[in-house]
Amino acid sequence: MSVELSGLEAGGRDFPERLGRYRLVRRISRGGMAQVYEARRESLAGVAPRVALKVILPEHAEDENFRDLFINEARVGSQLQHPNLVQIQDFDQQGDLYYLVMEYVEGVTLRRMLSLSKRNGLALSQAVIAEMGRQICEGLHYAHTARAEDGTPRHLVHRDIKPGNVILNPQGVVKILDFGISKVLDAADGHDGVKGTWGYMSPEQASGSAINGAADQFGLGSVLYELAALRRLYGETDQKKIRDLMRRDEGARRTAQLSGTYRDLGPVLMRALQRDPSARYPTAIGMGRALGQLIGDPVLIREKLVELQSTYARLDKTRSPAPTEPVRSQSTLSRSPAPENKSYQSGIPVSVGNVHRPMNPVEIDPGSRPTGGERRELRNTINLAALGVSLLILAFVLLHLFSATDTVEQESLEVPAETIVQDPPIQEAATEAAPAKSVEKPTPKPAKVAENPEPVEVKKPTPKRSKPKPKKTVQRESARPAPKRSPPPQSTVRQEAVETASGRLTVSSLPRSRVSIDGVFLRYTPLLSHEISSGSHMVVLETDDDRRIQFRVDVKTGEEVRRIWDFEQGLWRDP
């Protein structure tokens, strides 16, 4: 007996009425390997709890590789029972079709939250991001330390932590989806190639090397960075470029640039995104503790998560067209791009309970698209706004120029030398400006004085204005018009620039240590882009267990010096 999932059935349904004892209600979503339905498990007395039923796509039903991955997800998931992991409830087969029954999680995936945030101009707080990351760390740590039925550790690694695999439910609980490509490290099959999603997988995972739980830390760090920056850690699409960026530790460098409200989140993500797995946190729960220090009140932050989920669920119900994202996740299990008439979420896994998924542009109702007249009106509004801003800038520049011209003209007024000589304050100022030169005063001419019955009042120069040069006194002796004042000497400005010359210093260590520069304690590592005066400085790193290293750095003007010391290995690491 076989079950056909494609082709319209009675009543306009494009999926079967039942699978085993489960009645299918509607399709929730579709991924690269499977599709998920909302279903009801019918029992006695009308009891019909809601579940999520996952079925392999018809085009992959005969593929042994996909079938093995599906069975692996059922086997692994059935052994995991944790609040931050989606629970597997049943696994069965009808004819040649396998289906997996999971708890129904009503909520919004982080991928959908990112899409709604970009569209509505929303930003997640550092505490909210840290709390979601902390919950994910707890679920990952449980999976990493899970044991088989005989008590032996399984060392399970998820290998596909990404925004589409994490969902936030209305109770403020974050759950991890899909262990379809998870790997048990003690399995006899050894390395099984590169599996995961490009842009989120760790460097060792991308190279096909041996992995451990640290690989999931890298994926989580990439997700949390995207939630903070609202852009992917690796927006590049070419796999060779992504490998090269990971080889150069570009992920950690980009995370170090987080500032403002996310300045304390940056160091945590910077360690999780280290190229070397041994440089990351020893365990996922260690990363969770570091994130927990950024949360504050745990009760208050849970209330914020509940409110946040309600806000995004309300925005999600509008089902407004999603903007086309410039970069898409590239799952290693996707053999071809997603069909144009289906969801553009490629690869496994699929979102459980995320009813209003992002839509492909071809799925958008043409009636909801803006008309040509609306687009023209929007363009005209933008053009008028730009023109207004340009006119304001031009008016400001012209006003500034005219003001400067009036000031220069007032300073360069020609005053008769005889009148200036008769004014005692001006004579004193001239004497103070040029004490070394003694020139005989010219005899005042009455005719000139008569022409100006009201004497010209000239105030003493203020401290902001430079004193007149000695040569001006000589020119006044010969009754020549006073030349325009030359700009003040620049030596003082250059001297101040030299005195304030500085560079930047970044210092980190494994494990963390106290940083003291020139005998002054600053903070615990990492010390990121600390502004410091140019020259030679003595830096001391001291751990809590009294391990200590002292070294000297030479900081050049406008440059940044980076040092990372590994106390465990007793050597410098590449910054």
Catalytic residues: 160
Facing residues of 26 across strands? Answer: 38
Contacts of 92 (CB under 8 A, 6+ apart): 19, 20, 98, 99, 101
d(CA 466, CA 310): 65
Q: What is the CA radius of gyration of the chain?
A: 36
Contacts of 543 (CB under 8 A, 6+ apart): 509, 511, 512, 513, 514, 567
Sign of the dihedral defined by the CA atoms of residues 429, 430, 433, 434, in that order:
negative
d(CA 179, CA 219): 14
Q: Residue 211 to residues 179, 192, 359, 523: CA-CA distances in angstroms?
A: 16, 11, 34, 34
Q: Tell me the CA end-to-end span of the chain in Å, nearest whole number.
A: 61
Contacts of 160 (CB under 8 A, 6+ apart): 178, 180, 181, 182, 195, 196, 197, 200, 201, 219, 331, 348, 349
d(CA 72, CA 195): 14
535: amino acid identity, one letter: G
Whether 167 and 352 have beta carbons less than 8 Å apart is answered as: yes
Angle at which helix 265-272 crosses helix 126-144, to 10 degrees, equals 30
Contacts of 387 (CB under 8 A, 6+ apart): none
Whether 220 and 161 have beta carbons less than 8 Å apart is answered as: yes
Q: 482: closest CA among 533, 439, 538, 421?
A: 421
Q: Residue 306 to residues 108, 132, 170: CA-CA distances in angstroms?
A: 12, 12, 6
Q: 109: closest CA among 355, 303, 364, 363?
A: 355
Whether 362 and 341 have beta carbons less than 8 Å apart is answered as: yes
Both tokens of 537, joined, read 């400085």
Both tokens of 455, joined, read 């004497």
Kindly provide the b/e burial profile for residues 411-442, where b requires at least 16 CB atoms within 10 angstroms of the residue's own CB.
eeeeebbbbbbeeeebeebbeebbeeeeeeee
154: amino acid identity, one letter: R
